[in-house]
Structure 1
Amino acid sequence: MAYTIAICDDEQVELHYLTKLVNQWASINKHVAITESFASAEAFLFRYAENKGYDILLLDIEMGAMNGVELAKEIRRANESMQIVFITGFPDYIAQGYEVTALHYLMKPVSEAKLFAVLDKACKQLNKSERAILLDIGGECVRISVNAILCVEAFAHSVAITTTAGQYVAKQSISEIQSLLGEGFIRCHRSYLVGLKYIKRMGKTDIILDNDAAIPLSRRLYHEANQAFIRFYKVE
């Protein structure tokens, strides 16, 4: 399985240490861990505005202007599926974790065994609660499973979202949808997004999906799309 894991801590030594442990855990369990490090809550929020596809967040509580609890509350406004793990040197904040449904607290210094156990638990939770997006479809709020999306096509001021259950049309830009979907999708053309898990084969000018639909692949985006496709299925 592939998991996107963000690590947010204002201490560089801690960021390097946690990243190393996460990669060890992934290697042992035959997972693919895509890790990103952030030195402040504000830095994570800036990136999160562009990409909401994070599965797990290892979050220090005691940081600068915005602390970890405040960041978690901001995330929980629209995202209930991200697994948030607080990391702290003080036990005083534990009660606040219930407000943001934190998965667990880890006390510094973080032990390898405890972090591995929490990451295992996070994966189980993610598998139980499939990630979804909410869109306004014809005046109704519709929940669409991210794992069911084959491709997205932009036209006029709307997008057509093709899923395993059918097609939906929403009045949003393709860039907005790309931000919501996050990892697991590639922009292969200015008007198309495709789900990596549904690609059957990739040629020089088009992508064939599992449903045999042919999606155009622009020359400018070929290399990036091809590398993303290879990385998605590569076993470390």
Structure 2
Amino acid sequence: MSLSIAVCDDDETDLRYITGLVGAWAERARIPVSVRTFPSAEAFLFHYEENRDFDILLLDVEMGKLSGMDLARQIRAQDSFVQIVFITGYSDFMAEGYDVSALHYLMKPVKPGKFEEVLSRAADLCRQERPFLLVTSERETIRVFFDDIYYAESQGHYMILYTRETQYRVRLTVPGLLEQLDQGFYRCGRSFVVNLRHVCRITKSEVFLDNHSSLPLGRGQYDEINKTMISYLRSI
């Protein structure tokens, strides 16, 4: 299994050091990895908008205008599976790390032995199965990962699943689909099911997703979807 790892730190010396530790660990563990470095949280987000392909994030906490903790909150709202490890010289933010389900909090200067132990744990977690939906579409049986689904729309006797890569037409009802999904999905009005992992803004009449699409919100659903969203975010 190949791993994609991002290192984000605004200190160039620390960035090189951590990247070197990743390379040394990968060689000893005999795990193929691709490593991408970012000098700021903003630089990472610019890349992440188009390429959400990371398995492990190694984030400095204290960085410029947008901190590593703020970055982690944005990422966690969209991805409940990526492994987050904070690397910092300060212990003040440790309690906040639990809010974003961080795997570990490494203190600078980072000790190679401890770093490799944490990275090995992260790699083990990455090997665990992501939840998925098994669907039959166009005479094919396909595994669709929950986090790849943006939303689903009811059309007659079928549901259209809109995912990162394509669309799938599946013979299912809205209730039938919801039975197979987890608490990260919410029914909008009569015809739509939205993936809360991808919701970035909610108004009285619409739900906006991080792929720049929007869905109509049923009358009286505003308070309910907000409560559901908060409950979901607290559970991940």
Q: TM-score, normalised by structure 1?
A: 0.59
Aligned positions of 1:27-176 closer than 5 A = 27-130=27-130, 132=145, 133-139=148-154, 159=167
Aligned to 2:6: 6
Preserved CA contact (<8 Å) 2:160 2:167: no
Structure 2 unaligned segments of length 5 or more: list them: 132-144, 170-209, 212-236
Query: SS where residue 58 of structure 2 aligns?
Result: strand
Distance 1:16 1:141, change over 3 A: farther
* Cα distance in 1, alignment partners of residues 162 and 124 from structure 2: 22
| AA in 1 matched with 2:88 | T
Aligned positions of 1:196-211 closer than 5 A = none
- Alpha-carbon offset, residue 159 of structure 1: 3.9
Aligned to 2:15: 15
| Number of aligned residue pairs | 153
Structure 1 unaligned segments of length 5 or more: list them: 147-151, 153-157, 162-178, 181-236
Aligned to 1:186: none
Query: SS where residue 20 of structure 2 aligns?
Result: helix
* Cα distance in 2, alignment partners of residues 142 and 103 from structure 1: 32
* Cα distance in 2, alignment partners of residues 12 and 86 from structure 1: 16
* Cα distance in 2, alignment partners of residues 143 and 55 from structure 1: 23
- Alpha-carbon offset, residue 135 of structure 1: 3.4
Q: TM-score, normalised by structure 2?
A: 0.59
| AA in 1 matched with 2:111 | S
Identity %: 41
Preserved CA contact (<8 Å) 1:6 1:54: yes
Aligned to 1:176: none
Query: SS where residue 105 of structure 2 aligns?
Result: strand
Superposed CA offset, 1:145-168 (max 9, x none): x9xxxxx6xxxxx6459xxxxxxx
Query: SS where residue 137 of structure 1 aligns?
Result: strand
Query: SS where residue 5 of structure 2 aligns?
Result: strand
| AA in 2 matched with 1:136 | Y
Preserved CA contact (<8 Å) 2:152 2:162: no
Superposed CA offset, 1:72-98 (max 9, x none): 000011100010000110111000001
Distance 1:32 1:143, change over 3 A: farther
* Cα distance in 2, alignment partners of residues 142 and 126 from structure 1: 25
Preserved CA contact (<8 Å) 1:4 1:54: yes
* Cα distance in 2, alignment partners of residues 127 and 73 from structure 1: 23
Superposed CA offset, 1:23-76 (max 9, x none): 111111111110000000000000000100100000000110000110000001
Distance 1:82 1:143, change over 3 A: farther
- Alpha-carbon offset, residue 136 of structure 1: 2.5
Query: SS where residue 66 of structure 1 aligns?
Result: coil
* Cα distance in 2, alignment partners of residues 106 and 134 from structure 1: 33
- Alpha-carbon offset, residue 2 of structure 1: 0.5
Query: SS where residue 52 of structure 1 aligns?
Result: coil
* Cα distance in 2, alignment partners of residues 142 and 130 from structure 1: 18
